[in-house]
């Protein structure tokens, strides 16, 4: 491509940019980039960011500008960083191949700084022992000049691959910058296997990049891959600097190092276990870690499309500050998003979905949600100081299809909502007292006072029979029980009812609490005036008697002396009787 300065379009743009009118400026720029080979572009430049400078600087300034301003672009580009683009899809493909094999596999990334004289030139090799590759997956890779300049990478991949049943190791060269499909793939001489049965793939590329930055990024990437805890894949990062011996260092990332899982564990179980490992490794305490998980299925009509989303939510208490790939501290949560077994940036619809979740019913108040560099950050209000919440989402298709065949499905916004809610419900179900809604928290704050009052009532009685019965109902020993113990016992029971009701309320079952005087028979009286008969009065009396007799210690024993019905206006029937009561208190 010719240098940008010689482009006539560019010069006219430059002229106009001196006195920019926004829309014109925009059009020229769009045209420029279209010529540069960018497939599509969303343009809304804030004019003040652009200042007339030397042409190259302006061009690069604009590039940065564009990258930062447009969140939409995240949906097209896997990663916004210049390093990231190339490597991540390759590792993702390698991961898929390893998963497909079903056997223990290794995935290695070797970074070699080849020449001491040219320290920026590095050779990256991504190799795996999974199933052999069909080249379609590579053909499907898109290359966007926007993220990597020409000078960084020439677009060439060297691929060696073989399947278990193949007799040779095939060797290809792929030029992703070549637009004509015929000239993209070049077949190179293969190597014989000599009867040895193995499968695997190696992809090699060279680029100009800082080795340290790359290694750090790969490290971080693998840390995240460990969260997925794919049972049969071991990741390895090897860094070689120069030819001198001893300049090699290795990092091994074993998924099953701690807490091994069987190969048959579901993806969700792996994810859960992976998060737990990760969190514990970084200094959290196991007893303060609470994890909830759930899987939501994407349906069209009534059928599962096969797309699903696993969600794990971990609530932990920080004991000491840690450094990790989590770019969060306390009141902010990072939402880690995986797509098809590879870390992915968060889409705008996902952000919207996260905003629309009813966090309040789980006692959480979302202050704001931000998208920074492809990562979603949730800012909470009023979280206890040492608590952190991590949300991990993983969407994938239940069949491990190779990427070239998959369609880009716009994930249902509801899928995320459902998945997160499932995980939150699970968390509440498993751990009492966690994620109580604001309502429940408020009611729970009254529990100590209520417990104290009732305990006070029990203890102030001078009736040992009554006290004994209370204690036995509470499951306490009768003798020598202190006030605090009684109070505490009642308080615990009340709190557990409140928490249980809070969990139940999510199932939308309105449990009506029983009345204190359950057999309150007067409640049931519902006579209509025209139904009035003589017998009614008797029934009323009988019920009255029943009510009295329920009160065991009551000494009133009413005896009916006489009963009758008086003539009265039809609208006001009256029963009249005389009762003799032993402990006569005159009632008129």
Partner 1 sequence: MGDLRKSSMRFFSDQNLCYADILPPSEIRARIEVAVLNFLRILASPTPAISDLPLINRRSSNCRTSKGLLAQVSCVFLSHSFCTRSLMRANTAKAFIRVWKVMEMCFGVLVQEKRVTQRELFYKLLCDSPDYFTSQLLVNRTIQDVVALLQCSRYSLGIMASSRGLVAGRLLLQEPNQEVVDCSECGLSGHAISGDLNRLETLILNTDARYIIVVEKHAIFQRLAEDRVFNQIPSILITAKGYPDIATRFLLHRLARAFPDLPILALVDWNPAGLAILCTFKFGSIGMGLEAYRYACNVKWLGLRGDDLEMIPEQSLVPLKPRDLQIAKSLMSSEVLQENYRRELEIMVQHGQRVEIEALYFHGYDYLGKYIAKKIVQANYI
Cβ 483 to partner 1, closest distance in Å? 13
Of 532-551, which residues contact partner 1 (CB under 8 A)? 536-537, 540, 550-551
Cβ 516 to partner 1, closest distance in Å? 5
Binding of partner 1 at residue 245 (CB under 8 A)? no
Binding of partner 1 at residue 274 (CB under 8 A)? no
Cβ 508 to partner 1, closest distance in Å? 15
Of 110-139, which residues contact partner 1 (CB under 8 A)? none
Q: Which stretch binds partner 1 (CB under 8 A): 13-21, 335-343, 355-363, 564-572?
A: 564-572
Integer angstrom CA distances of residue 474 from 489, 553, 582: 7, 21, 36
381-387 LR contacts (CB < 8 Å, sep 24+): 381/331, 383/330, 383/331, 385/330, 386/317, 386/318, 386/319, 386/330, 387/315, 387/316, 387/317, 387/318, 387/330
Cβ 514 to partner 1, closest distance in Å? 5
Burial of 125 (0-12, 13-18, 19+ CB in 10 A): middle
Handedness of CA 88, 92, 95, 97 (dihedral sign): negative
Of 18-37, which residues contact partner 1 (CB under 8 A)? none
Binding of partner 1 at residue 587 (CB under 8 A)? yes
Cβ-based nearer residue to partner 1, 298 or 494 = 494
Binding of partner 1 at residue 556 (CB under 8 A)? yes
Given a contact cutoff of 8 angstroms between Cβ atoms, the answer to whether 216 and 239 are in contact is no
Binding of partner 1 at residue 561 (CB under 8 A)? yes
Binding of partner 1 at residue 372 (CB under 8 A)? no
What CA dihedral angle connects 220, 223, 228 and 232, to 10 degrees?
A: 120
Binding of partner 1 at residue 523 (CB under 8 A)? yes
Burial of 278 (0-12, 13-18, 19+ CB in 10 A): buried
Q: Which residues contact 541 (CB under 8 A, 6 or more apart)?
A: 560, 563, 575, 577
Give the pair of three-digit tokens for residue 101: 């094999």
Comparing CA positions, the residue from 292, 295, 144, 114 lying closest to residue 206 is 114
Binding of partner 1 at residue 570 (CB under 8 A)? no
Cβ 109 to partner 1, closest distance in Å? 56
Q: Which stretch binds partner 1 (CB under 8 A): 238-246, 258-266, 322-330, 450-458?
A: 450-458
Q: Which of 462, 464, 477, 509 binds partner 1 (CB under 8 A)?
A: 462
What CA dihedral angle connects 217, 222, 228 and 234, to 10 degrees?
A: 160
DSSP character at residue 71: S
Between CA 455 and CA 461 the distance in angstroms is 10
Between CA 232 and CA 106 the distance in angstroms is 8
Binding of partner 1 at residue 453 (CB under 8 A)? yes
Cβ 358 to partner 1, closest distance in Å? 17
- Cross-strand pairs, 187: 172
Cβ-based nearer residue to partner 1, 203 or 458 = 458
Cβ-based nearer residue to partner 1, 120 or 522 = 522
Between CA 128 and CA 455 the distance in angstroms is 68
Comparing CA positions, the residue from 86, 223, 228, 72 lying closest to residue 149 is 86
Integer angstrom CA distances of residue 352 from 95, 282, 340, 369, 472: 29, 30, 21, 9, 54
Cβ 553 to partner 1, closest distance in Å? 4
Cβ 544 to partner 1, closest distance in Å? 9
Of 463-482, which residues contact partner 1 (CB under 8 A)? 463, 466, 469-470, 473-475
Q: Which of 1, 165, 570, 572 binds partner 1 (CB under 8 A)?
A: 572
Comparing CA positions, the residue from 236, 203, 240 lying closest to residue 105 is 236
Cβ 406 to partner 1, closest distance in Å? 49
DSSP character at residue 452: H
DSSP character at residue 512: P
What CA dihedral angle connects 453, 458, 459 and 463, to 10 degrees?
A: 150
Cβ 463 to partner 1, closest distance in Å? 7
- Helix-helix angle 464-474:447-460, to 10 degrees: 140
Q: How many residues bind partner 1 (CB under 8 A)?
A: 71
Binding of partner 1 at residue 522 (CB under 8 A)? yes
Site string for partner 1, 420-449 (x = CB under 8 A): -------------------x--xx--x--x
Q: Which of 259, 517, 546, 557 binds partner 1 (CB under 8 A)?
A: 517
Cβ 304 to partner 1, closest distance in Å? 36
Cβ-based nearer residue to partner 1, 296 or 495 = 495
Q: Which of 478, 525, 542, 546 binds partner 1 (CB under 8 A)?
A: 525
Of 330-359, which residues contact partner 1 (CB under 8 A)? none
Cβ 365 to partner 1, closest distance in Å? 16
Of 485-514, which residues contact partner 1 (CB under 8 A)? 490, 493-494, 496-498, 500-501, 511, 513-514
- The three-state secondary structure class of 245 is coil
Cβ-based nearer residue to partner 1, 385 or 514 = 514
Cβ 484 to partner 1, closest distance in Å? 16
Binding of partner 1 at residue 196 (CB under 8 A)? no
């Amino acid at each position: 491509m010719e240098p940008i300065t010689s482009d006539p379009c560019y010069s006219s743009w430059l002229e106009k940019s001196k006195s920019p009118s926004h829309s014109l400026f925009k059009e020229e720029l769009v045209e420029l980039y279209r010529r540069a080979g960018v497939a599509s572009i969303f343009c809304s430049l804030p004019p003040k960011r652009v200042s007339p400078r030397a042409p190259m600087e302006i061009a690069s300034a604009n590039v940065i500008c564009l990258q930062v301003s447009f969140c939409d672009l995240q949906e097209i580009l896997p990663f916004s960083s210049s390093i990231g683009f190339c490597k991540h899809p390759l590792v993702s493909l390698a991961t898929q191949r390893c998963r497909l094999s079903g056997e223990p596999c290794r995935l290695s990334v070797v970074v070699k700084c080849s020449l001491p004289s040219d320290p920026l030139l590095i050779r990256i090799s991504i190799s795996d022992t999974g199933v052999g590759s069909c080249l379609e997956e590579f053909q499907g890779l898109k290359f966007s000049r926007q993220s990597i300049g020409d000078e960084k990478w020439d677009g060439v991949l060297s691929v060696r691959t073989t399947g278990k049943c193949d007799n040779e190791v095939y060797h290809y060269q792929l030029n992703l910058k070549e637009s004509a499909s015929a000239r993209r793939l070049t077949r190179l001489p293969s190597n014989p296997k000599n009867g040895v049965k193995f499968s695997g793939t190696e992809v090699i590329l060279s680029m100009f990049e800082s080795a340290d930055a790359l290694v750090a990024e790969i490290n971080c990437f693998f840390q995240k891959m460990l969260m997925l805890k794919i049972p049969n894949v071991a990741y390895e990062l090897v860094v070689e600097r120069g030819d001198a011996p001893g300049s090699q260092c290795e990092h091994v990332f074993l998924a099953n190092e701690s807490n091994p899982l069987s190969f048959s564990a579901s993806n969700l179980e792996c994810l859960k276990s992976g998060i737990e490992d990760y969190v514990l490794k970084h200094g959290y305490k196991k007893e303060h870690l609470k994890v909830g998980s759930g899987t939501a299925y994407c349906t069209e009509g009534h059928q599962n499309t096969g797309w699903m989303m696993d969600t794990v939510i971990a609530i932990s208490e920080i004991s000491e500050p840690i450094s990790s790939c989590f770019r969060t501290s306390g009141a902010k949560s990072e939402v880690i998003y995986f797509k098809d077994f590879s870390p992915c940036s968060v889409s705008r619809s996902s952000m919207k979905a996260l905003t629309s979740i009813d966090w309040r019913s789980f006692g959480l108040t979302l202050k704001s949600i931000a998208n920074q560099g492809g990562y979603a950050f949730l800012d909470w209000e009023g979280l206890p100081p040492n608590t952190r919440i991590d949300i991990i989402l993983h969407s994938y298709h239940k069949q491990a299809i190779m990427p070239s065949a998959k369609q880009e499905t716009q994930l249902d916004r509801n899928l995320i909502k459902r998945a997160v809610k499932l995980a939150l419900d699970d968390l509440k179900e498993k751990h009492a007292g966690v994620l109580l809604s604001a309502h429940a928290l408020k009611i729970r704050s009254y529990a100590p006072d209520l417990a104290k009052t009732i305990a006070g009532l029990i203890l102030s009685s001078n009736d040992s029979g009554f006290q004994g019965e209370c204690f036995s109902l509470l499951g306490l020993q009768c003798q020598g029980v202190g006030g605090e113990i009684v109070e505490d016992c009642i308080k615990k029971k009340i709190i557990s009812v409140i928490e249980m009701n809070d969990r139940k309320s999510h199932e939308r079952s309105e449990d009506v609490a029983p009345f204190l005087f359950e057999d309150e028979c007067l409640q049931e009286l519902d006579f209509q005036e025209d139904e009035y008969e003589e017998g009614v009065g008797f029934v009323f009396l009988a019920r009255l008697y029943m009510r009295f007799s329920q009160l065991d210690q009551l000494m009133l024993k009413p005896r009916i002396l006489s009963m009758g019905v008086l003539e009265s206006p039809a609208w006001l029937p009256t029963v009249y009787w005389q009762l003799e009561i032993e402990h006569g208190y005159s009632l008129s």
